[in-house]
Chain A
Amino acid sequence: MSKLEKVLYGNRLKPFLFLVGLILMLPFVVKSSYIFTILILIGIYSIVTLGLCLLIGYAGQISLGHAAFFGIGAYTSGVLTTSFQLSPWLALVIGMVTTFFIAYLIGIPILKLKGHFLALATLGINIIFYILILGLNQLTGGAAGLIGIPSLSLFGLPLTDKLFFYFFVWTAALLVLLLSLNIVRSHVGRVLRSIHDSEIATETLGVKVENYKVAIFALSAAFASLAGSMYAHYITFVAPPTFYITKSILFLIMVMVGGAGSVWGAILGTTVIMFLNEIIRFVGHTYFGISGEVEIVVYGLIIILIMMFLPKGLMHVISKPIQKLKQKKKVKIKSHKDMISQKGV
């Protein structure tokens, strides 16, 4: 890693290795297949939240409709593999490409809007998508959903077994993480953050702001479609209610609670929210005997508290002690000094 990158962005290898280590270690600790399912779902949802984090945290554009792109991926995979007998991998790629273009076409007009209006427009997109998959029931199986989606197999290795699928999902998630880190740790990352702060200033510096916004919007949609296809092959069944606004809101909350400011926040947020859901439900059922959707009371409360007191998200809370630990600032100034002496300015 070049000196320059260390100066500009700080270290990324350590957190990455920590995450990889964690992922490798978990299967040996966790035995119950229920927790395993949650881990796999966290992997799938992290791919969506990583894309969303780029869009919201960096480019500053809100989207309440990413469940639609998640759905397009799931349904393209589902329909192509069931009624057209395409290979799942081909269907997955087709899904991502179609979602990318659909999001690109939608993005151009929509990203001219700002704030509440953008949120409402993306909400509208999600509802229109939901009604379309309900309506086209010859193709998508409509409300009864689409059954019999084959599970994936990699070079003959059947991925029905949880362990293989777990590693497959998390390798994909790590690749997406790497991709996002590369984008963030480059000039493009700076462009996105400057769009977030002041679009006018960015434009005067020669940046075609629309192109960047739409590109990131389409990219995050492609990520969501990838996750959708994997979700379809894992659950082997897709039905419209899973891709409704409630799922878009869940993704948004995961990003914001995790901390939209950093790509790592997306993964942290997804994990915390997924476990939070299960814990509250587990505690609710066993100890208080209350059942059903009651956990949304605690869930709603926690979201309000986090957004009020920790607007920058959990990642911010965790990264602060780490920064103090390594006295990051000192390292930067020192290495910067010898940079200058080296250049002889």
Chain B
Amino acid sequence: MELLMQYIVTGLTVGSIYALLAIGFVTVYNITGILNFAQGEFAMIGALTCITFVNAGLPMYASIIFAILISATIGLIVERTAILHARNTSVIILIIITIGVSTFLKGMGLIIWGTNPKQLTPLIKMEPIHFMGAVINPQSIFIFIVLLILLAVLYVFFEKTYIGSALRACEKNPRAAKLMGINPSTMSALAFTLAAALGAIAGILITPITDATYEMGFLIGVKGFVGMVIGGMHSIPGAVAGALLVGLLETFSGGFISTFYSDAITFLVLILVLFFKPNGIFARASGERV
């Protein structure tokens, strides 16, 4: 029984890391219809800037806030330069531009922070907690809490506030939104800044567990992707649920089948979901009129 608990706990820990990134993906996709391959890189920038500030002696909270701000500004610059110009080109070109941005940011990360992994002391220094036989890392509880807070904040922001519904309107029908006086390009800029900030928060939270290197962006980015697609590309709660599911899937397949193929199984599920429910498990089906 206690083995099961350990798998669940680890699954949720890993899942919540992917969830933090999935939120960043969904925000950008939700508003601009662009799948931003460079989302993982924002996490890297957030994490490494925070570490640099902490090593420079700033208090932890100040460096976290600065790191998020820097990452958000980089997100804005990326949007204004690369994305704005090519907003209405084909899907393939947009994918390549975001890949170009991701390569560029990774290169900058290499130049500024070098190759060896850097550590970040966790925010709360606590011994691992034993709970029903499973060992829980305090940092992952912290991640879980932040995840729930973010979910609530984003829910209120998107559903309740004017800007939030304007952002959603932009994605559904940019032309109509324009008629209503909403400017899709500022909305897209807002979306990228928001996504970059969310990416930074994700990066800062996961570094105490995974350490930060200039290369960390890509893989966790892809996993965040998978979570979002499985959960549902159009709803933030759907994406978070999807990401948690990916985490659990990975740990249970690792535990019971073999750690060899846990990644392969996750991607197999991704492909099955893409076939049968392209809009994700938790989203309503939507047809397309000829």
Residues of A within 8 A of B (CB): 56, 62, 64, 109-110, 112-113, 115-117, 119-121, 123-125, 127-128, 131-132, 134-135, 200, 245, 249, 252-253, 256, 260, 290, 292-301, 303-304, 307-308, 311
Contacts and interface: CB of A to CB of B under 8 A. Distances in A.
Nearest to B260: A135
Given A113-B274, A294-B107, A120 B85 contact: no
A308 B85 contact: yes
Contact of A128 (B106, B268, B275, B278): B268
A295 B226 CA distance: 29
A301 B106 CA distance: 12
Interface residues of B, number: 42
Top 4 A-B residue pairs of the complex, sorted by shortest distance between their CB atoms? A297-B107, A300-B104, A300-B103, A303-B100
9 contacts: A56-B92, A62-B92, A117-B274, A121-B270, A124-B267, A124-B268, A131-B260, A303-B97, A308-B86
Contacts of B141: none
Nearest to A297: B107
B264 A252 contact: no
Contact of B263 (A56, A127, A301): A127
Interface string B260-290: 1101100110110011001000000000001
Contacts of B89: 307, 311
A303 B270 contact: no
A249 B100 CA distance: 10
A125 B275 CA distance: 13
A307 B100 CA distance: 9
Nearest to A298: B107
Most buried by A among B35, B86, B107, B278: B107
Contact of B104 (A62, A109, A123, A304): A304
Query: Which of B110, B263, B264, B270 is packed against the most chain A CB atoms within 10 Å?
Result: B264
A216 to B, nearest CB: 16
A303 B99 contact: yes
Contacts of A132: 264
B101 interface: yes
Main secondary structure of the interface of A (DSSP, over half): helix
A188 B113 CA distance: 51
Contact of B274 (A120, A249, A260, A311): A120
B86 A307 contact: yes
B103 A296 contact: yes
Residue among A253, A299, A311 with the highest chain B CB neighbour number at 10 A:
A311
Interface of B: 35, 81-82, 85-86, 89-93, 95-97, 99-108, 110-111, 115, 222, 225-226, 229, 260-261, 263-264, 267-268, 270-271, 274-275, 278, 290
Contacts of B95: 62, 64, 116, 119
Residue of B89, B95, B115, B290 most packed against chain A (CB within 10 A): B95
A252 B222 CA distance: 18
A135 B263 CA distance: 11
B110 A292 contact: yes
Nearest to A57: B92
Most buried by B among A120, A299, A303: A120
Nearest to B37: A249
Nearest to A122: B271
A252 B97 CA distance: 12
Q: Which of A109, A116, A299, A311 gathers the greatest number of chain B CB atoms within 10 Å? A: A116
B86 to A, nearest CB: 5
Contacts of A252: 92, 96, 99
B96 A128 contact: no
B214 to A, nearest CB: 9
A136 to B, nearest CB: 9
Nearest to A113: B274
A213 to B, nearest CB: 15
Given A200-B290, A300-B102, A307 B97 contact: yes
A120 B270 contact: yes
A299 B96 contact: no
Contacts of A119: 35, 91, 95
Contacts of B110: 292-294, 296-297
